[in-house]
Copies of this chain bind each other. A is one copy, B any other.
């Protein structure tokens, strides 16, 4: 019985995400989002509630996508676990050095809002934890494959690699070049404990 929505919710969320991504939360106006999506502001407020709620929604979707990507890229149990880990981290280093790379919305949003918005910080924390688990599972597969010392604590190593992942993001945002970022990633991978054999 209701009148159906005329817009595609997902594409509106994508447009909003791009705006927040480019100019941050405080730097983005609802008017600019309305202009970017073609919607009237009434529709925006009616559908999403307000600026903060809209951001939460976008942020949440983005975190989910990041977790899915990590699980997808690192999952599997076919003897290629170490190669997958290497590719995951090196691709990230390369992507972070792209001039067009806007920096992870996860990082930007956390930096800007986590201090004042518990919703954002809790979501970021859970996201990091999920990515950590994905890396941990991959490292455990590496241990079964004989690529990593089975005596090592996979979870601690995963924490270190996640930290490097986030640090690469931070350095990339300052414009550090891609070969440097890849070199750092390679150094991190090279110093993982190998089986003593």
Contact = CB atoms under 8 A, between A and B. Distances in A.
B26 A174 contact: no
A128 B167 contact: no
Interface string A167-192: 11111011110001001100110011
Copies assembled: 2
A125 B58 CA distance: 30
A78 interface: no
Tell me the interface secondary structure of chain A in the complex.
helix
Interface in A78-118: 102-103, 107-108, 110-112, 114-116
Q: How large is the interface on A (under 10, 10 to 19, 20 to 34, 35 or more residues)?
A: 35 or more
A30 interface: no
Interface of A: 22-27, 102-103, 107-108, 110-112, 114-116, 121-122, 124-125, 128, 153, 156-157, 159-160, 162-171, 173-176, 180, 183-184, 187-188, 191-193
